[in-house]
Amino acid sequence: DVKVTQSSRYLVKRTGEKVFLECVQDMDHENMFWYRQDPGLGLRLIYFSYDVKMKEKGDIPEGYSVSREKKERFSLILESASTNQTSMYLCASNYQGNEQFFGPGTRLTVL
């Protein structure tokens, strides 16, 4: 069974904190993605990665960075969390142009 897991379902942080969101997939997929999901805005791509140590900016990379040290793991980093980063964060992975498989999401609240 295909699995994309995310380290936390719910997270509450304070403004200015450094936040790490972790994503792990067990399908040996080259491509991994981070999206944020907001009501009325749909899903927007933050960053993606084709391979280990490779990263590409998506549509809304400001305020975020990523790390991919191992093929199965893709981390999203908020260097200094702000209230406008309160959102649902979804990780996904796929092989080439095939179906993307999504994690359960992390609901982040920044106070």
User: What is the helix (H) or strand (E) element at residue 19, kind and residue range?
Assistant: strand 19-25
Please say whether the beta carbons of 5 and 21 come within 8 A: no
Please say whether the beta carbons of 4 and 101 come within 8 A: yes
Shortest separation between residue 66's beta carbon and another protein, angstroms: 13
Shortest separation between residue 74's beta carbon and another protein, angstroms: 13
User: Which is closer to another protein, CB of 74 or CB of 81?
Assistant: 74
User: Which is closer to another protein, CB of 33 or CB of 64?
Assistant: 33
| Interface with another protein (CB under 8 A) | 31, 33, 35, 40-45, 48, 50, 56, 58-59, 90, 92, 94, 96-97, 99-100, 102-105
User: Which is closer to another protein, CB of 58 or CB of 63?
Assistant: 58
Please say whether the beta carbons of 8 and 91 come within 8 A: no
Closest CA to 23 of 40, 9, 43: 9
Shortest separation between residue 94's beta carbon and another protein, angstroms: 6
DSSP code, position 64 = E
